[in-house]
Amino acid sequence: MTNKIAYLGPRGSFAEAALKASGALDSGAEAVPTANVLAALDAVRAGDVDAALVPIENSVEGSVSVTLDELSNGKRLVIVDEVVLPVEFSLLVRPGTDLASIKNITTHPHAQAQVRRWIDQNVPEAAYIPSMSTASAAESLIAEPSLFDAAVAQEIAAEIYGLEVLASGIGDNPDASTRFVLVQLPGEIPAATGADKTTLSLFMRENHPGALMEILTEFVVRGIDLTRLESRPTKKSLGDYYFSVDLEGHVDDLRVSEALMGLHRVCSDVRFLGSYPRHDGREAHVRPGVTDLDFDSALIWLNKLKGKS
């Protein structure tokens, strides 16, 4: 059904690995690398591709701001799936290069931040030059002439670009992982599984903490747990924020439906960015009083009071 899926390229990127892991390519879809997150999202918006896989959160660096911001503005897109991939960094070089001869290293700033300790201990003298992505760093080693001696990237890029792996697992944090989301134009919402997430962008009428308390109360009163909460600037003036949240549950869960309507009344804008199955399949914790059954019972009770059947 889905024929083309954009991903944050170039070939050999983490996003490509995530796309393969997601199973989205299993039905024969074509993977289309793009230069950046915005290009991937715009390809979906323009109908050039059927979906895009982009990173949204990293356990070390935090949210991927550009993804949150681009999803929160412009034509609405929705998340239909998520995939979480362990982050593995390797030091790649042209065949024959050894540690001692590395004068500079290129990689994406986020990657650089995650291998700082290893670099300090093993190639302390090397200069660092930022790249647009880890894969483009790897690719730049085979340019003629190349300005760079080494790249921090994932191992798969070595194979793609004919490079050598000088060291593997060089990340400072062995448990680091990145979460990617698969986005599409709004259409049918994936069916509720009991183990779902819903992603929202919430724009406030006025600023917090009062406003944030108000928003949190809409969740708390309906027993909804948040798995991610980010404040992001609206890019208007310092101190003007919106909130990006992931919650446990599906828009078809009655507690989530009611909370969404409450937020719609409280916020100046609520952008619904999709309900989709959790990557880990962990079922939502739903406290007594806010199950669908409780909501149904309450409605039946109320209608009876009002003399309706």
Ranges within 53-92 binding its own copies (CB under 8 A): 57-62, 65-66, 84
Query: What is the spatial distance between Cα 55 and Cα 39, in angstroms, rounded to a whole number?
Result: 13
146 binds its own copies, rule: CB under 8 A:
no
Question: Residues 99-118 vs its own copies: string with x where CB under 8 A?
Answer: ----------x---x-----
Ranges within 266-305 binding its own copies (CB under 8 A): 266, 272, 289-290, 294-295, 297-299, 301-302, 305
Question: Residues 233-262 vs its own copies: string with x where CB under 8 A?
Answer: x-xxxxxxx---------xx----xx-xxx
Alpha helices in 108-225 (DSSP H): 109-114, 116-122, 134-140, 156-161, 210-220
Query: What is the spatial distance between Cα 256 and Cα 270, in angstroms, rounded to a whole number?
Result: 13
Between 101 and 297, CB nearer to its own copies: 297
Query: Does residue 173 contact residue 86 with C-beta atoms inside 8 Å?
Result: no
CB of 257 vs its own copies, minimal distance in Å: 6
- For β-strands 62-63 and 51-58, DSSP reports them as antiparallel
Between 103 and 264, CB nearer to its own copies: 264
Give the chain's length: 309
169 binds its own copies, rule: CB under 8 A:
no
Determine the number of helices (DSSP H) and then strands (DSSP E) in the chain: 10, 15
Binding residue (CB under 8 A) for its own copies from 130, 169, 191, 283: 130
The gap between the terminal CA atoms of the chain, to the nearest Å, is: 43
CB of 184 vs its own copies, minimal distance in Å: 14
